[in-house]
Amino acid sequence: MSNRFAGLLTVVLGVLALKLTLSGEYLNYVRAGMYPWLVLSGLILVALGLVGWRSARSPEAHHHHEAGGHSHGLSRAAWLLVVPLLAASLLRPAPLGSFAANRQSSRPPRPPAKTAVLAQKVVKVKPVEAAPAPAVEVAGVPIPAASSNSSEMSLTDFLEITYYDETKALAGVPVTIVGFAMPAQTGKPDEFLLSRFMISCCAADAQLLQAGVTRATGSVPKQDSWVSVTGTWEPDDSSPLMTDDGFPIPKLVARQVVPVAQPENPYLTLAQ
Amino acid sequence: MSTRLNAEASFDFGPAKKRSPVPELVALALLALVLLPSGLRGLLESPGIRNWVTVFVAIVVQAIPFLVLGTLLSGAIAALVPPGWLAQHLPKNTAMAVPVAGIAGVGLPGCECGSVPVAGRLMASGAPPAAATAFLLSAPAINPVVLVATAVAFQGQPRYVLARFSASLATAVVVGLIWSKVGKAAYHERALKRVVQGDSRWGTFASTSQHDFLHAGGFLVLGAMTAATLHTMVPKSVLDGLAGAGFISILIIALLAFVLAICSEADAFVAASLTQFSPTARLVFMVVGPAVDVKLVALQTGTFGRSFALRFAPITFVVAIAAGVIAGSLLL
């Protein structure tokens, strides 16, 4: 690879880093916290590449080259950098989905460090002890305000509470959780798995989180489609779903399953 | 400071420069695209390919900042450290230089992608190879960022942090000492011939950084492709079925660390989730991963040469497992 082209390739790679970050596409690959570092790296690469390209074009460099000075071809391996460039640009970015989920087992999340943290989470999702919301009636028919008085929570929080809160305070409290759908292996037509990946650094270290959804009215959502499920947790489940490792998967009895757009950040991140 | 010009600096091609095969390869690839049967087009959209692309791009993207940091440091060493200075100032005695270099690894916050170009540059600047390799192994494993991540992943179990620190430092020092006996100059040919060019300090810094970035980056891509392929192909039964079978499970988890090539800042979280393995097995996962994995072997081949990687990787693998097992049985 000539030095001139090496400089230009460095510039293009820097632009790729900037484009992935500024467009938000990077969230399909790495954790959100990488944002400033990727922007900084992109700027540095553009600057380094421009410097390299300019010095390779200068008549002096040409002279050196002709004189047999330091005509160092860059190794051919550098050409491989074209591959991620094409892969990230030609294909629409897609987060990990059911294909990756089928290659690992979901496991219970690790217990939160302090019980206080867990208690706080439980309190946050418990409904406010205020007067019940006035029932909305349309032409004499009460409309269940399913999502209006439910608490939105992450799949991580839901699993932590269902696994580790011994007071079972969440039982019967309506909650709304977003994830992508996967078929449950039970074969029951009204059950599916609400799934999401949690990452620490990048998609290569993703860990699967799953909750079961039962009594989904209407048709079960398509595999890999994103849904928002409102429902209540049933702690005493007579026919629990199980992971391959034999852990029970907590189940939501659905009141409402709504298709939603893929979240801007498809992965959950461990709060550090 | 004088800038060094290495007259015989072509490190990939012989004196009779081969004609580049690139135009023909590009034309072939384009031809294949044009003739692609329509049935195969859907292949690009298949879940397996998408999964491969996501994991592959993810590994490359997350490595970029660390690679940039590592190559900037490498450029700075090339520009600021006069040749011979390192050899003069490091302890003459290998038995001293190696542990010092190992502990110096605490100072490079990053993951393994950054430490390879730095170690290569240290060697090119005259550091004894054994000391440079000890630094290469310790930097990604015992720096503060990785230790904090380990503490977060194993909350309430600081013994894991201590065990990881001691096992990784021991791996670095022991491999460094072994390397001082078995490592021949010929194995590092590629690192020693590395080009330093530029007519000023600034020029040297900029061109070395850019050069090292592209060079290491190319090999990183090779490693990321391998890791993404294994992520996509290895069935989960391999992971789940073989856990808990004594030494076999330790070997399995070490191989897993080798093929998955997870960044050293994230591997503690994965290790913490591998609850079906014993504490010692999980420690081995964290000690082997930053020391030797598919991505690192590719990077080391690019930086030091193939004869280096072929010898260095197996030694590291064995020592890392041993250090993990010993530290695990003493501390966990």
- Is the pLDDT at A65 greater than 60? The verdict is no
Tell me whether residues B68 and A99 touch, CB distance under 8 A: no
Structure tokens at B309: 């990687």
CATH number at residue A165: 2.40.50.140
As a whole number of angstroms, the distance between CA A58 and CA A81 comes to: 25
For residue B182, the distance in angstroms to the closest alpha carbon of chain A comes to 28
| Residues A123 and A83 both lie in one domain | no
Structure tokens at A196: 């999401």
Q: Which residues of A127-142 are buried (b: 16+ CB within 10 A; e: fewer)?
A: eeeeeeeeeeeeeeee
| Residues A207 and A224 both lie in one domain | yes
For residue A158, the distance in angstroms to the closest alpha carbon of chain B comes to 18
Per-residue pLDDT band at B274 (split at 50, 70, 90): confident
Q: Would you tell me how many other CB atoms lie within 10 Å of the CB of residue A198?
A: 21
Tell me whether residues A77 and B215 touch, CB distance under 8 A: yes
Interface predicted TM-score (ipTM) of this complex, two decimals: 0.86
Is the four-CA dihedral B282, B286, B291, B295 of positive or negative sign? positive
Q: Identify whether A170 is part of a domain.
A: yes
Tell me whether residues B265 and A207 touch, CB distance under 8 A: no
Tell me whether residues A45 and B214 touch, CB distance under 8 A: no
- Is the pLDDT at B196 greater than 80? The verdict is no
Interface test with A, best of B12, B210, B222, B301 (most A CBs within 10 A): B210
Q: Which domain holds residue A103?
A: 98-127+143-269
- pLDDT attached to residue A132: 47
- pLDDT attached to residue B16: 42
Tell me whether residues A99 and B51 touch, CB distance under 8 A: yes
Tell me whether residues A29 and B197 touch, CB distance under 8 A: no
Could you tell me which chain B residue has the CA closest to the CA of A65?
Answer: B7
| Residues A189 and A221 both lie in one domain | yes
* Of residues A29 and B236, more confidently modeled: A29
| Residues A112 and A86 both lie in one domain | no
Residues A208, A105: contact at Cβ < 8 Å? yes
* Of residues B57 and A220, more confidently modeled: B57
As a whole number of angstroms, the distance between CA A211 and CA A225 comes to: 15
Q: Identify whether A31 is part of a domain.
A: yes
Least confident of A23-37, A153-167, A237-251: A237-251
Q: Classify strands A248-249 and A151-152 as parallel, antiparallel or unpaired.
A: unpaired
| Residues A65 and A150 both lie in one domain | no
Residues A212, A193: contact at Cβ < 8 Å? yes
Structure tokens at B239: 């992971």
- Is the pLDDT at B15 greater than 60? The verdict is no
CA distance to A154, A245, B37, B51, B257, per residue, from A269 (Å): 10, 23, 41, 19, 22
Per-residue pLDDT band at B222 (split at 50, 70, 90): confident
Q: What is the mean pLDDT of residues B23-27?
A: 73
| Residues A152 and A45 both lie in one domain | no
- pLDDT attached to residue B4: 42
* Of residues B133 and A205, more confidently modeled: B133
Q: What is the mean pLDDT of residues B84-94?
A: 79
Model confidence pLDDT, tens digit, residues A96-147: 999 999 888 777 777 666 667 777 777 777 664 444 444 445 455 544 444 4
In sequence order, what are the residues at sequence separation of 6 or more whose Cβ sits closer than 8 angstroms to the Cβ of residue A172? A232, A233
Residue linked to tokens 């091609």: B13
Domain count, chain A: 2
**Helix residue ranges per DSSP H, B5-93:** 22-34, 38-41, 47-80, 85-89
Residues B102, B58: contact at Cβ < 8 Å? no
| Residues A153 and A109 both lie in one domain | yes
Q: Classify strands A175-183 and A151-152 as parallel, antiparallel or unpaired.
A: parallel
For residue B23, the distance in angstroms to the closest alpha carbon of chain A comes to 12
| Residues A110 and A237 both lie in one domain | yes
Tell me whether residues B22 and A79 touch, CB distance under 8 A: yes
**Structural domain ending residue among the three candidates A45, A69, A90:** A90
Which residue from A26, A75, A205 is facing B302, i.e. has the nearest CB?
Answer: A75
Tell me whether residues A81 and B10 touch, CB distance under 8 A: no
In sequence order, what are the residues at sequence separation of 6 or more whose Cβ sits closer than 8 angstroms to the Cβ of residue B279? B160, B328, B332
- pLDDT attached to residue B243: 59
Q: Identify whether A186 is part of a domain.
A: yes
Interface test with A, best of B25, B30, B57 (most A CBs within 10 A): B57
* Of residues B251 and B20, more confidently modeled: B251
**Structural domain ending residue among the three candidates A71, A90, A109:** A90
Q: What is the mean pLDDT of residues B72-90?
A: 81
In sequence order, what are the residues at sequence separation of 6 or more whose Cβ sits closer than 8 angstroms to the Cβ of residue B73? B108, B114, B117, B118, B121
| Residues A116 and A71 both lie in one domain | no
* Of residues A246 and B198, more confidently modeled: A246
Structure tokens at A121: 């989470």
| Residues A115 and A194 both lie in one domain | yes
| Residues A220 and A122 both lie in one domain | yes
Could you tell me which chain A residue has the CA closest to the CA of B263?
Answer: A201
Interface test with A, best of B68, B111, B226, B260 (most A CBs within 10 A): B68
As a whole number of angstroms, the distance between CA A250 and CA A267 comes to: 20
The percent of residues in chain A predicted with pLDDT above 70, rounded, is: 81
For residue B297, the distance in angstroms to the closest alpha carbon of chain A comes to 14
Beta bridge partners of A194: A181, A211
| Residues A234 and A255 both lie in one domain | yes
Tell me whether residues B211 and A6 touch, CB distance under 8 A: yes
Least confident of A79-93, A180-194, A231-245, B87-101: A231-245
Which residue from B58, B206, B217 is facing A30, i.e. has the nearest CB?
Answer: B58
In sequence order, what are the residues at sequence separation of 6 or more whose Cβ sits closer than 8 angstroms to the Cβ of residue A180? A97, A98, A194, A195, A196, A224, A225, A226, A227, A262
Model confidence pLDDT, tens digit, residues A165-199: 888 888 888 899 999 999 887 777 788 999 999 98
- pLDDT attached to residue B71: 87
- pLDDT attached to residue A127: 60
Hey, where are the domains in chain B?
A: 48-331
As a whole number of angstroms, the distance between CA A133 and CA A107 comes to: 37
Least confident of A25-29, A52-56, B105-109, B242-246: B242-246
- pLDDT attached to residue B47: 87
Mean pLDDT of chain B: 82
Tell me whether residues B240 and A7 touch, CB distance under 8 A: no
- Enumerate the residues of chain B whose CB falls inside 8 A of the CB of residue A265: none
- Enumerate the residues of chain A whose CB falls inside 8 A of the CB of residue B234: 103
- Enumerate the residues of chain B whose CB falls inside 8 A of the CB of residue A76: 12, 218
As a whole number of angstroms, the distance between CA A175 and CA A127 comes to: 10
Which residue from A9, A20, A110 is facing B214, i.e. has the nearest CB?
Answer: A9
Q: Mean pLDDT highest for which of A255-259, B18-22, B122-126? A: A255-259
- Enumerate the residues of chain A whose CB falls inside 8 A of the CB of residue B116: none
Q: Identify whether A133 is part of a domain.
A: no
Least confident of A138-152, A216-230, A239-253, A258-272: A138-152
- pLDDT attached to residue A143: 46
CA distance to B31, B229, B269, per residue, from B222 (Å): 24, 11, 25
Model confidence pLDDT, tens digit, residues B141-183: 998 888 988 888 887 789 999 999 999 999 999 999 999 999 8
Q: What is the mean pLDDT of residues B232-255?
A: 75
Could you tell me which chain A residue has the CA closest to the CA of B18?
Answer: A73
For residue B98, the distance in angstroms to the closest alpha carbon of chain A comes to 30
